[in-house]
Chains A and B, each alone.
Chain A
Amino acid sequence: MDRLLSFAFQLSLFLILAFIALPILVVLAASVSPTTTITFNPSEWTFQWFTALTASRWLDPFLLSIKLAAIVTALSGLLGFLAAYAVAYQKCPGHETIMAFLVSPLAVPQIVKGVAIVLFLSSSGFYSLLGTPGLVMAHIILTLPFVLRMIAGAMYNFDKRLDQAGRILGATAAQRIRFILLPIIKPGLFSGMTFAFILSFNNIPLSVFLVRPGETTLPITVINHMEYSLDPVLAAVNVASLAFILTAILVFEKIGGFSTQIHGGSK
């Protein structure tokens, strides 16, 4: 009886993991298959679809998405640090309420935030902000709460005696931030920024309202195309953007060293 149960458990585990892996494997295979028929035979694989990526129809949205994600990451890192410094580090009066306000966008679904922002910009005469500036602002509203939470988490854990030690050794407020606080919260800062990068780069529900012809992000370009055909070029585009994200994570990890934090290491 117990053996049967254990077998059923392992079988279900295997099937669920197969379900998770299946579509991703299919896209990987489709991106290198010579025809629209997917092949898992490596000898037939080709990289012909990837050459299409150099066409401006794919390259422009790709570059826009990268630019957007980079700006959003930098700005939400900066804003998140400022807010966390006041709320979690200085514990300014009313910090709990302020924190609740700053993370409140999390309670609102992205699609609702998107509608609100596009209606606001269109009906208040800021129509010209649609496109890249609107995208940047909307994405920051999405990413800021996450970044803030991660930095604040790192700052709540920060041992205040380190700051006192720096002070007694003669460090000014700016020096203490630069040489004591920042290095210690760096893993939290960078994991938050990595998260912001991924969220922005892959975003659909906000971007879909704010893109303009000629200023379209990669995911929106892909879904617009997908409604008409399942062109293998799309598989290549998807694989390329996944590869880009993985590279970006590695780079962030290299600079920020947050995996020690995630794995509970002491740093």
Chain B
Amino acid sequence: MTSTDTLSITPQPTRLPIRFGQFLPLAPPSIMLIFIFAIPMGMMIALSFRGADGALLTLDNYQRFFSDDLMLAGLWRTALMSGLVAICVTVMAYPVAYYLARSTSRWRTVVFALAIAPELAGVVLRTYGWLVILEDHGAINSILIWSGMISEPLPLSKNLLGVVIGLTHVVLPFGILSLLTSIQGIDPNLERAAQILGASRLSIIRRIILPLSVPGIVSSLLIAFTMSASAYATPALLGGAGFKVLATMVYEQVLFYIDWPLAAVMAVLLLILMLTMTLAGTRAEARLQRKLHV
């Protein structure tokens, strides 16, 4: 079989010289990113370790944060609020995502638009809407008082409840999208296979769909948690003056108390909270994905 030799010429590896022209288009975006993102981030982290006496590396500022009960309460409140929103969002997003993943009806497009489009409206409009609905003289309390069911307005806003409702509304579309991706990845034939083997609707949900959508549930919890933990406007407006979370506390430190090292500490803590959650979440998600998918 000598004739094949002429056909199979081994390609010689050609080493292309690195042309610096290739990197030229990267200059403007990279310079921008270095000066407006990388250096400021580095300075902020450095500032959080700067002592009042000029020391470059001290934990004084962190100690100030952790010895202050009000600030610790703010940290705890951030975690509690974000956790509650994560659960509410995931529970509410699940039926919508399941419907969107499986439905073939013409209502599907309508439901999709309804579920996702509010994101265009921005946080301010939606927060305003919830305030009008929830506040003491708002729609719900007016109706309840008018109907005689209550005499004093229920505390629906300017507290944790109001913030959780508002944030759930803001984050819900993201929860729906991440669950949708996951549920769409579950082969519909699995449900049919279970059904033809005699499984009821309930046991299909319990034994097939829920276990297989765990990665989606994790990513929905994760995105809801991280978005809530760093949300500023909703807690500021729906939570009222006494409702302090890391995001609003940072803002106050920068603009009212002008305590920049403390602001830097809070920002770093918020970053750490987010990064650990993201890391733990994506790890768990990747592990589950690997286990579940062929």
Does a CB–CB distance below 8 Å link A and B in the complex?
yes
Listed in ascending order, the chain A residues whose CB lies under 8 Å from chain B are 1-2, 5-6, 9, 12-13, 16-17, 19-27, 30, 37-38, 79-80, 82-83, 85-87, 90, 92-93, 98, 101-102, 104-105, 107-113, 115-120, 122-124, 137-138, 140-141, 144, 148, 198, 201-202, 204-205, 208-209, 219, 222-223, 226-227, 230, 234-235, 238-239, 241-242, 245-246, 249
A220 to chain B, nearest CB (A): 9
Q: How far does the Cβ of B246 sit from chain A's closest Cβ, in whole Å?
A: 8
A92 close to B126 (CB less than 8 A): no
14 other contacts beyond A79-B28, A86-B26, A235-B128, with CB at 8 A cut-off?
A2-B200, A2-B202, A13-B111, A16-B96, A23-B169, A24-B125, A30-B132, A86-B24, A111-B270, A115-B254, A141-B33, A144-B33, A219-B123, A238-B124
Chain A CB within 8 A of B129 CB: yes
Size of the B side of the interface (Cβ < 8 Å), in residues, is 71
Q: Does B44 contact A (CB under 8 A)?
A: yes
Q: Are B129 and A23 in contact (CB under 8 A)?
A: yes
Q: Are B254 and A119 in contact (CB under 8 A)?
A: yes
A209–B18 alpha-carbon span in the complex (Å): 42
Given contact pairs A26-B132, A27-B132, A209-B254, A116 touches B40 in the complex (Cβ within 8 A): yes
Complex CA gap A223/B230 in Å reads 17
The answer to whether A209 and B25 touch (CB under 8 A), given A1-B202, A223-B233, is no
- A-B pairs with beta carbons under 8 Å apart, 8 shown: A26-B133, A79-B29, A109-B247, A116-B37, A137-B36, A141-B33, A198-B122, A226-B127
CB distance A230 to B254 under 8 Å?
A: no
Complex CA gap A140/B121 in Å reads 21
Chain B neighbourhood of A30, CB < 8 A: 129, 132
Contact present for B37 and A82 (CB under 8 Å):
no
- Measured between alpha carbons, how far is A115 from B133 in the docked complex, in Å? 32
Interface residues of chain A: helix, strand, loop or mixed (majority) = helix
- In the bound complex, residues from chain A placing their C-beta under 8 Å from that of B180 are none
CB–CB A5/B201 < 8 A = yes
**In the complex, what residues of A have CB within 8 A of residue B131's CB?**
226, 230
Return chain B residues, CB-CB under 8 Å to A92.
22-23, 26
**Which chain B residues border A230 with CB–CB below 8 Å?**
128, 131-132, 135
Contact call A140/B32, Cβ cutoff below 8 A? yes
Chain A residue at minimum C-beta to C-beta distance from B96 = A16
Contact in complex: A108, B41 (CB < 8 Å): yes
Contact B26–A209 (Cβ < 8 Å): no
- Contact, CB under 8 Å: B29 / A80: yes
Tell me the bound Cα distance from A37 to B226 in angstroms.
Answer: 36
Q: Which residues of A contact B142 (CB under 8 A)?
A: 37
Asked if A98 and B26 sit within 8 Å, CB to CB, the answer is: yes
Asked if B267 and A116 make an inter-chain contact with CB atoms under 8 angstroms apart, the answer reads: yes
Closest chain-B Cβ to A34's Cβ sits at a distance in Å of 15
Which chain A residue shows the least CB distance to B125?
A238
Asked if B200 and A1 sit within 8 Å, CB to CB, the answer is yes
User: What is the 8 Å Cβ interface bit string for chain B, positions 225-261, against chain A (1 contact, 0 not)?
Assistant: 0100111110011000000000100110011000010
Which of A17, A27, A90 is within 8 Å of B96, CB to CB? A17
B87 within 8 A of A: no
Please tell me which stretch of B2-10, B59-67, B271-279 contacts chain A, meaning at least 4 of its Cβ atoms lie within 8 angstroms of it.
B271-279
| A241 nearest CB across to chain B (Å) | 7
